Amino acid sequence: MYKKHIEKIYVHPSFGKKFPGLCKKLTEFSRLFKTKSYHSPDELFFAIEDLPAMGKEYWFLYFCTPTHDSQVVLTLGRSTGPVRVNDTSLEVQAAGRECKHRVPCAAVCWMYNGEKKVLFDSFAEVELSASKTGNMLLAQNGENKMIVSGKYPHFNVELLSGEKELFRAKIFPPKTGLPYEMIHLLETKLVPRFGATMINYYFEFEGKVSGRPLSGKAYLQKVVAVLPLAPWNWVRVHFASGAAIDFFTGKPLGNQSDMRVASKAYFEVEGRQIPLNGIKLQTFMEGDCRRWVMTGEGLYLSLQTYSMQPFVMKNKMEFRYDEFLVRATDLCLVADGKTYTLKEVGEGRGIAEDASGYLI
């Protein structure tokens, strides 16, 4: 009864005119109690959400070549309420009738191909369309564009600066391993929208960066979250043999506390995911000089940063999200009775995320 009542909150038009801010907050609050389900991965990825209070959504596309420093990182996101992203102030509003398919988003899209090039630094207008024949996500800021088109399990991605093509990729499922996963975190019956829902695509790609042929691993993610942003670390490293190491941990009380939540780590080899236990991540130095050491039961991995890009969001609080491109400098891993070093798995490249601060 309570849930149904909340879903049907009605605000008289005259009240809305007198108190537009309070009216907006009440509408956002009521969305917390509406259920939301997705029947396919594309339905989540190619959609603009009607966000409730504390609602956030973001898209993350990552392209890695294990044997070369070239990498491409595309990040788009928005939340309810105003926020300052790097040097731009945004009113990143919930999607109502007036912005059902087109919204302003915070955006940091960049690439490394011998040197760093930043395509979007803080803002992009994002437009989405979805149909049975195909889908499209278009992000644009001035003459710079990012276009994602296609239908599961095949997508095309383009990065354009005016008439110049910076990056182009065809994305397709891997021969072995999980092609995608749908994850639900912190679900509760009392407040159905609280928590997070995400789609993770694990693909391969072939394409060109600045006219040079490139191929490797593609990771596409869409997240819809209704909760505060809090610190985390994520590391994903791909090796030339096709193996990978993935590690995530939430740090709700920051680096000063030993408290970790939602931690997960695994070694992926020959299509299998082998859990890694007792993982700890240490960092040394800052910026492009940062070093990373990951240790655990039967694991030692060291990583060297060669490029990084900051992403700072501010309202009444501050949240910093830094992306680091890394190469593996040493590996010793014992898994399933086998020992793996860089000699067995080959060269490794990847990304390390370091998020700090808080954002409601």
Q: Tell me: pLDDT of 98 over 60.
A: no
What was the pLDDT predicted at 88? Answer: 78
Position with higher pLDDT, 204 vs 11: 204
Q: Tell me: pLDDT of 74 over 60.
A: yes
- Average pLDDT for residues 52-81, to the nearest whole number? 91
CB 280, CB 297: distance < 8 Å: no
d(CA 89, CA 352) in angstroms, rounded, equals: 27
What was the pLDDT predicted at 30? Answer: 41
Position with higher pLDDT, 54 vs 222: 222
From residue 4, alpha-carbon distances to 14, 192, 215 in Å are: 24, 12, 50
Q: Tell me: pLDDT of 23 over 60.
A: no
- pTM, 2 dp: 0.86
Position with higher pLDDT, 96 vs 61: 61
Strand partners of residue 155:
150, 171
39 burial type by CB count under 10 A (0-12 exposed, 13-18 middle, 19+ buried): exposed
Q: How much is the mean pLDDT over the chain?
A: 85
- Average pLDDT for residues 206-215, to the nearest whole number? 95
Q: Tell me: pLDDT of 239 over 60.
A: yes
| Lowest mean pLDDT across 164-173, 208-217, 248-257 | 248-257
| Lowest mean pLDDT across 73-77, 100-104, 354-358 | 100-104
Q: What are phi and psi of 14, to 5 degrees?
A: -65, -35
What was the pLDDT predicted at 26? Answer: 39
Q: Tell me: pLDDT of 273 over 50.
A: yes
Backbone dihedral region for residue 343 (phi beyond 0: left; psi -120 to 50: alpha; all else: beta): alpha
d(CA 264, CA 233) in angstroms, rounded, equals: 11
Q: Tell me: pLDDT of 178 over 60.
A: yes
What was the pLDDT predicted at 329? Answer: 98
User: Cis before residue 213, ω within 30 degrees of 0?
Assistant: no
Position with higher pLDDT, 12 vs 327: 327
Instruction: Provide the residue ranges of all domains of the chain, joining segments of one domain with +.
Output: 39-226, 228-360
- Average pLDDT for residues 245-263, to the nearest whole number? 85
What was the pLDDT predicted at 192? Answer: 52
Q: Which CATH architecture has domain 228-360?
A: Beta Barrel (2.40)
The confidence band for 278, taking pLDDT boundaries of 50, 70 and 90, is very high
d(CA 58, CA 79) in angstroms, rounded, equals: 9
What was the pLDDT predicted at 186? Answer: 59
The confidence band for 122, taking pLDDT boundaries of 50, 70 and 90, is confident
Report how far Cα 2 is from the mean position of its chain's Cα atoms. 34
Q: Tell me: pLDDT of 4 over 50.
A: no
The CA dihedral of 281, 262, 194, 108, to the nearest 10 degrees, is: 30
Nearest to 182, CA basis, from 69, 38, 61: 38
d(CA 312, CA 323) in angstroms, rounded, equals: 11
What was the pLDDT predicted at 267? Answer: 97
What was the pLDDT predicted at 25? Answer: 43
Q: Tell me: pLDDT of 144 over 60.
A: yes
